[in-house]
C-alpha cells in the first residue's frame, strides 16, 4: 500500500529552527509537495521537490532524497504565525496526490 509518515506534533521556540520529516512509500514518484494549513483554512503551497537536494525559499527550505524515500521541511527564524499544520504529499505514478496526516507545529514564545 501507499504510506506517508510524518510526526503528529512538534513544538519549537520562536526564533529557533525546526525540521519536519516525511518518509514515504508510494507506487511511483512524480514529486513531493509541502503545504501549510492554518486551523480552519485551506492548505497553501510551500514547496515542490522532484529532484534530490535542497531547495531554499526564504525562511523555508525543503529537502528530498528519492533513494531514501525521505523529505524534510526546514523552517528558520520561527515566528508565531508559523504555528500551523504542515502537510507532506507525494504525487504517485498515476499523478494522484497521496497525503500525509500532517504535522501540527506549535511555536512557543
SS3 for 42? Answer: coil
* Candidate list 48, 70, 76, 83; residue touching another protein; CB under 8 A: 48
Question: Residue 90: which residues within 8 A CB-CB, separation 6 or more?
Answer: 2, 4, 24, 26, 29, 31, 32, 33, 97, 98
Residue 3 to residues 28, 63, 70: CA-CA distances in angstroms?
A: 12, 19, 12
* Candidate list 41, 52, 56, 77; residue touching another protein; CB under 8 A: 41
Which of 23/31 has CB closer to another protein?
Answer: 31
* Candidate list 10, 29, 70, 97; residue touching another protein; CB under 8 A: 97
Contact positions vs another protein (CB under 8 A): 30-31, 33, 40-45, 48, 87, 91, 95-97, 99-102
Amino acid at each position: 500500500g501507499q504510506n506517508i509518515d510524518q510526526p503528529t506534533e512538534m513544538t519549537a521556540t520562536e526564533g529557533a529552527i525546526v525540521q519536519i520529516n516525511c518518509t514515504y512509500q508510494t507506487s511511483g514518484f512524480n514529486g513531493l509537495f509541502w503545504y501549510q494549513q492554518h486551523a480552519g483554512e485551506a492548505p497553501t503551497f510551500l514547496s515542490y521537490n522532484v529532484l534530490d537536494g535542497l531547495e531554499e525559499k526564504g525562511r523555508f527550505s525543503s529537502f528530498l532524497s528519492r533513494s531514501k524515500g525521505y523529505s524534510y521541511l526546514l523552517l528558520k527564524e520561527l515566528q508565531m504565525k508559523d504555528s500551523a499544520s504542515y502537510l507532506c504529499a507525494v504525487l504517485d505514478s498515476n499523478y494522484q496526490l497521496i497525503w500525509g496526516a500532517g504535522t501540527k507545529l506549535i511555536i512557543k514564545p
